[in-house]
Amino acid sequence: MASRIEITLKPELIDAEGELLRRKAGDYFGIQIDGVRTVHIVTVDADLAVDQIERARNEIFTNPVTQISSLAPLPVAADWIIWVGFRPGVRDNPGATAVEAMADLLGKRFAQGEAVYTSRRYCLQGKHLTAADVERIANQLLANDIIQQWRIYSAADWDPAQGVGLIVPKVRLDHTPTLTVLPIDSDATLQRLSKERNLALNPNDIPVIRAYFLDPRVQAERAQVGLSDPTDLELEYISQARSDHCNHNTFRGLFHYTDATSGQRETIDNLFKSCIQTPTRQLQQQKPWVVSVLWDNAGVGRFDDAHYYTITGETHNSPSNMEAYGGAITGIVGIYRDPLGTGLGSRLIMGSYGFCVGPRDYAGDLKPRLHPRRLLDGVIEGVRDGGNKSGIPTPFGQVLFDHGYMGKCLVYVTALGIMPAEVAGRPSEQKTILPGDAVIMCGGRVGKDGIHGVTASSETFSAHTPAGHVQIGDPYTQKKMHDFLLEARDRGLIRFITDNGGGGLSSSVGETARFSNGCEIQLEKVPLKYAGLDQWEIWVSESQERMTVAVAPAHVEAFLALSARHGVESTVIGEYTDSGKLHITYEGRPCAYVDLDLLTAGFPQWTFAAEWRDPQARGLIEPVLGVPGDQNRLLLDMLARPNICSKEWISRQYDHEVQGTSVIKPLVGVGRDVVSDAAVLRPVLGSRRGLAFSQALLPFYSRIDAYHMTACTIDEAVRRLIAVGGDPEHLGGVDNFCWPTIEYDPLTNPDGRFKAAQLVRSCQALRDMCLAYEIPLLSGKDSMYVDGHLPGRYGETHKVSALESLQFSATSVIPDIERCVTLDPKVPGDRVYLLGDTRDELGGSEYYDLLGYVGCQVPRVWPEPFMARYRALAEAVEQGWIASAHGIFRGGLGVHLAMKAMAGQMGLAVDLARVPVEGNPTRDDVLLYAESAGRFILTVDPRHAEAFETLCKDLPLACIGRTVAEPRLTVQGSTGQTIIDLSVAALKEAWRKPFGDLI
């Protein structure tokens, strides 16, 4: 029999959660609510006596100082009540911890099927609230129908004795697990099955799959284990493994590239091999610090003689687009499993984020599933809870707004770990599996959640995308597992470890089995959240917080005992073999018997037509503009641009100092509010070595040419590291592509060939830049199909594609953190230097965007001269000559002079006539807002000026002014007049205006 406990704050206390809802309803929709009180509901569906429930109510669920509670509905005044609870099968984290707490307190074991469910009711007061208002609050602020259900009660409908009643969202499948054998009599049949079962098989793969199962040798072997036609589990396995997400078919494709302007043709076979693998292998030879790349879950670089760092990144776009919180928390918690599953396992030391969404104040006709504002709120909270609750600092992140992300948002997540170079006498970056090793699944249980996540993200989002794959990450369960696995690692109990991510066991076991060349899995041993899953569902479910570990037979007992000590569930589900086969049974009956090498051979390469047209050919021109007269107002308006303005409210929600390693924080300066160029950590406490990390994301330049977009993005990431004191000889990179669909289709993707050409050019720039800057790509991911079809005013749909986007992450090791530099000027009277020349490059700039133009002359990167500057600056930093350093990024010199003034709470007086230029740009707007790459603003103690200038004598360096005590930015124009004269207070007011009130 179920019972219900209602808990609420004592009336005299502020209800912060209710207050937040009240504020949002007013800010977002103009709905005036007088007050909101929140009631938490704990519904216990277990065989317990009333006195046991009472005890739990008193000792667990009610804080005697702040809360009141009751088993009957609490009489909280309300004009309207909204109840929100999870749908059946959605991960209820507080429900799960309630079970643990009650089991502890009452000494009771919860039986299979017994559970605790949590939900909330919001008691709204407001005489003028209408039913429509309340409905809007329920479905646009509180609940998402993919994961939640809700009910609305007016005061008149509310029964104070019954309340919401007893709502038990228990999963009842009433289904006997069934293995289905699928006929493949023709390609058409298999194509139909693919569509019906949402397998997303590529049509070119279908004959290969059929040929395998029709091969007489294969048929004979299958007959011996009791199988004939392929089973649903086998086809699901192949579908997962062949998906673009797992197999990177696009990057491994054959591109027929034509330059329509010059008529030149080129065939590029496999972008991954030619632009990523080959340069990285080459650099690995030159850079002894590169320890392990291109095969494991994350790349490995040397931090010091005794420690390696690990890094990887990915995106979680599709699920976040549908359920922002769940998608984002699952994304960040998921990426944390990659370093944990790298080598013999690394401890997580930081995470970062990149959010790309539509305009926060979008008021147009298109109706995305979630308004960009709501979507952004959700992804911010998801990464917040995922990172904070994992105990991993989040010291870096970026947010971009662009209309193109209305179709599908981008949620980039990146994770770094650290591991000892040696674990129990073995090199930590190496691992393999021996036949006879146990296959152990650790962490969470398996449910229907997350089924077909991989194949769904390999398709454009449409009304038919199955919503069932959206999950809610559980950082608590994962943190326990993380602590356990590291202890197991240090005791030498782990032979091999990998994460369960996309594709679930299908991927993790399927891929690890290649190391021993086979495995036998008893699927009935896999612990389930609830009974009734089909065998294929158990195999491909992406239920979160799981790792797959290979453990030598002699260590299994110790491994399981340690797991129990940490409160972590671990289960032996089979054994690695050397049979060459993936052999799966369920209660003794065969489910799968597939050659492991099936997936590595025989599948046709995807092919793409790519057609490049240069910007002029596409009709892009440089706008004809007169020089602005009101430069003060222009700068203030630039600072208030959504992609420039302060987003402090996001950084502060993220714990960026847990682990005690913070050296350079995300927000720096006197007011601790200006965004740092990069983050620096001291991951090994007690050592003076530091790890610098930065990211860049400049998709705007893709409007002109994705080659230069890519070059500028990589240059910016590198420059950010150099600005804080990074070592130009140790630069590691992670590429993370998010691209709109590149397959040409005259009706659904008429510009597919152009987008394919942009991808080719971007990859070529990646190759060129990495070779020139000597950046091995430690890791990388790609996410295609960043498009959406959005309903408009008349019910028509519009395809909206994202800009071609590349997030580039960069790392460097700093020998001595005490030499690190921040961007804020520190002493009045210092010289202000500009290192690097400015060109007439306003194309794709924030300034042009403000005026409604794209332009043509996109910033370019000149790697050799740029690198000479970076080496010189690194040398000057090492000498201790640099008081502050800041790269010039989006928005150009004007915006970044303002950043420095704001960070130092100090004046800068500069003269544009002294700015080093290349070519002949003399216009003030070009000098102030061109986004030419390769530049820094530095401040230097006059005592070191001569030495610094001597060091840079062959470089474009000029002293452009001084720091001054009065907090005022003054800029003299090229004609000698003062064109900007603004107080730091005025700059800050403009810069904080858009989002300054958000907390």
Partner 1 sequence: MNQINALVLTGYGLNCDHETAYVFEQAGARAERVHINALIDGSVSLDRFQIMSFIGGFSWGDDHGAGVVQAVRMRTRIGDQLLRFVEQGKLVIGICNGFQCLVNLGLLPGLDGDYTRRSVALTFNDCGNFRDDWVHLAVDAESPCVFTRGIDHLELPVRHGEGKFVTDRDTQRALNANRQIVLRYALPDGRPAKGAFPHNPNGAMDDVAGICDPTGRVFGLMPHPEAFNHWTNHPDWTRTRELAKRGRIPMPAGLTPGVRVFKNAVDYFAAG
Which residue's CB is nearer to partner 1, number 60 or number 421? 60
Question: Quick one: which of 35, 391, 492, 996 contacts partner 1 (CB under 8 A)?
Answer: 391
181 secondary structure, DSSP code: B
| Dihedral in degrees, nearest 10, Cα atoms 600, 605, 606, 609 | 150
Q: Report CA-CA distances (Å) from 949 to 867, 932, 962.
A: 17, 22, 15
Residue 820 lies near partner 1 (rule: CB under 8 A)? yes
In 15-130, which ranges are continuous DSSP H helix?
16-29, 50-56, 93-106
Q: How far is the CB of 363 from partner 1 (least distance, A)?
A: 25
* Catalytic residue selected from 40, 245, 307, 555: 245
Question: Quick one: which of 192, 565, 589, 633 contacts partner 1 (CB under 8 A)?
Answer: 565
Residue 13 lies near partner 1 (rule: CB under 8 A)? yes
Query: Radius of gyration of the chain from Cα atoms?
Result: 29
Q: How far apart are alpha carbons 59 and 418 in whole angstroms?
A: 40
Query: If you count them, how many residues does the chain have?
Result: 999
The answer to whether the annotation marks 935 as part of a ligand binding site is no
Q: Report CA-CA distances (Å) from 94 to 72, 109, 161, 475.
A: 21, 18, 26, 12
The answer to whether the annotation marks 338 as part of a ligand binding site is yes
Q: How far is the CB of 686 from partner 1 (least distance, A)?
A: 7
The answer to whether the annotation marks 544 as part of a ligand binding site is yes
Would you call 896 a catalytic residue per the annotation? no
Which residue's CB is nearer to partner 1, number 92 or number 716? 92
Which residue's CB is nearer to partner 1, number 16 or number 621? 16
Give, as ranges, the residues between 66 and 85 that touch partner 1 (CB under 8 A): 66
Q: How far apart are alpha carbons 844 and 762 in whole angstroms?
A: 16
Q: How far is the CB of 487 from partner 1 (least distance, A)?
A: 9
In 226-371, which ranges are continuous DSSP H helix?
232-242, 244-247, 271, 278-286, 317-322, 324-340
Which residue's CB is nearer to partner 1, number 63 or number 605? 63
The answer to whether the annotation marks 79 as part of a ligand binding site is no
Give, as ranges, the residues between 467 and 506 that touch partner 1 (CB under 8 A): 474-476, 479-480, 483
Which residue's CB is nearer to partner 1, number 279 or number 334? 334
**Pairing relationship of beta strands 254-259 and 607-612 according to DSSP bridges:** parallel
Question: Quick one: which of 208, 670, 771, 913 contacts partner 1 (CB under 8 A)?
Answer: 670
Stretch of residues binding partner 1 (CB under 8 A), selected from 604-612, 629-637, 813-821, 894-902: 813-821
> Per-residue x/- marks for partner 1, 282-311, CB under 8 A?
------------------------------
Q: Output the six-digit token pair for 485.
A: 């696995």
Question: Quick one: which of 14, 220, 363, 554 contacts partner 1 (CB under 8 A)?
Answer: 14
Give, as ranges, the residues between 720 and 759 that touch partner 1 (CB under 8 A): none
SS percent in the chain: helix, strand, coil, step 5: 35, 25, 40
Q: How far is the CB of 948 from partner 1 (least distance, A)?
A: 15
Q: Report CA-CA distances (Å) from 535 to 150, 300, 513, 528.
A: 32, 36, 19, 11
The answer to whether the annotation marks 546 as part of a ligand binding site is no
Q: How far is the CB of 98 from partner 1 (least distance, A)?
A: 6
Beta strands in 402-543 (DSSP E): 410-420, 422-423, 426-427, 438-443, 496-499, 519-522
Q: Do 356 and 402 touch, CB atoms closer than 8 A? A: yes
Task: For residue 376, give the amino acid letter.
Answer: L
The answer to whether the annotation marks 845 as part of a ligand binding site is no
Q: How far apart are alpha carbons 725 and 720 in whole angstroms?
A: 9
838 secondary structure, DSSP code: B
Give, as ranges, the residues between 104 and 143 that touch partner 1 (CB under 8 A): 104-105
Instruction: Tell how far CA 326 is from the center of its chain.
Output: 12
Give, as ranges, the residues between 402 and 421 that touch partner 1 (CB under 8 A): none
Which residue's CB is nearer to partner 1, number 165 or number 829? 829
Q: What is the 3-state secondary structure (H, E, C) of 324-352?
A: HHHHHHHHHHHHHHHHHCCCCCCEEEEEE
Residue 236 lies near partner 1 (rule: CB under 8 A)? no
Which residue's CB is nearer to partner 1, number 136 or number 652? 652
The answer to whether the annotation marks 314 as part of a ligand binding site is yes
Burial of 697 (0-12, 13-18, 19+ CB in 10 A): buried
Contacts with partner 1 by CB under 8 A: the residue count is: 71
Which residue's CB is nearer to partner 1, number 654 or number 936? 654
Burial letters for 859-882: b for 16+ Cβ neighbours within 10 Å, e otherwise? Answer: bbbbbeebbebbbbbbebbeeebb
The answer to whether the annotation marks 796 as part of a ligand binding site is no
Stretch of residues binding partner 1 (CB under 8 A), selected from 101-109, 513-521, 712-720, 866-874: 101-109
Give, as ranges, the residues between 44 and 63 that touch partner 1 (CB under 8 A): 59-61, 63
Stretch of residues binding partner 1 (CB under 8 A), selected from 95-103, 597-605, 957-965, 988-996: 95-103
Question: Quick one: which of 210, 566, 689, 789 contacts partner 1 (CB under 8 A)?
Answer: 566
Q: Mention every residue, 6+ apart, whose C-beta is less than 8 A from residue 684.
A: 303, 304, 307, 418
Give, as ranges, the residues between 19 and 38 that touch partner 1 (CB under 8 A): 19-20, 23
Which residue's CB is nearer to partner 1, number 23 or number 367? 23
Tell me phi and psi for residue 624, to 5 degrees.
-100, 105
Residue 43 lies near partner 1 (rule: CB under 8 A)? no
* Catalytic residue selected from 307, 316, 583, 656: 316
Residue 602 lies near partner 1 (rule: CB under 8 A)? no
Q: Measuring CA to CA, which residue among 787, 797, 799 is closest to residue 742?
A: 787
Give, as ranges, the residues between 318 and 377 that touch partner 1 (CB under 8 A): none
Which residue's CB is nearer to partner 1, number 597 or number 657? 657
Which residue's CB is nearer to partner 1, number 255 or number 559? 559
Question: Quick one: which of 35, 68, 87, 101 contacts partner 1 (CB under 8 A)?
Answer: 101
Q: How far is the CB of 362 from partner 1 (least distance, A)?
A: 23
Question: Quick one: which of 1, 30, 51, 65 contacts partner 1 (CB under 8 A)?
Answer: 65
The answer to whether the annotation marks 499 as part of a ligand binding site is yes
Question: Quick one: which of 297, 312, 390, 694 contacts partner 1 (CB under 8 A)?
Answer: 390
Collapse the DSSP code of 165 into the 3-class scheme (helix H, G, I; strand E, B; otherwise coil) and give the result: coil
Q: Measuring CA to CA, which residue among 50, 64, 47, 65 is closest to residue 5?
A: 50
The residue assigned the tokens 């808990």 is 7
> Per-residue x/- marks for partner 1, 826-845, CB under 8 A?
xx------------------
**Pairing relationship of beta strands 265-269 and 254-259 according to DSSP bridges:** antiparallel
Which residue's CB is nearer to partner 1, number 544 or number 974? 544
> Could you tell me the sign of the dihedral formed by the alpha carbons of 376, 379, 381, 383, in that order?
negative
Give, as ranges, the residues between 874 and 933 that touch partner 1 (CB under 8 A): 880, 883
Residue 389 lies near partner 1 (rule: CB under 8 A)? yes
The answer to whether the annotation marks 949 as part of a ligand binding site is no
Q: How far apart are alpha carbons 353 and 328 in whole angstroms?
A: 10
Q: Mention every residue, 6+ apart, whose C-beta is less than 8 A from residue 991.
A: 639, 640, 644, 645, 646, 898, 902
Q: How far is the CB of 729 from partner 1 (least distance, A)?
A: 23
> Per-residue x/- marks for partner 1, 624-663, CB under 8 A?
---------------------------xxxxxxxxxxxxx
Give, as ranges, the residues between 672 and 691 that touch partner 1 (CB under 8 A): 672, 682, 685-686
For residue 8, the cross-strand partners are: 39, 68
Q: Mention every residue, 6+ apart, whose C-beta is less than 8 A from residue 79.
A: 124, 125, 126, 127, 129, 154, 155
Stretch of residues binding partner 1 (CB under 8 A), selected from 397-405, 465-473, 812-820, 927-935: 812-820
Binding-site residues for substrate sit at: 337, 471, 542-544, 783
Binding-site residues sit at: 314, 337-338, 471, 499, 542-544, 735, 780, 783
Point out the residues that are catalytic. Answer: 245, 316
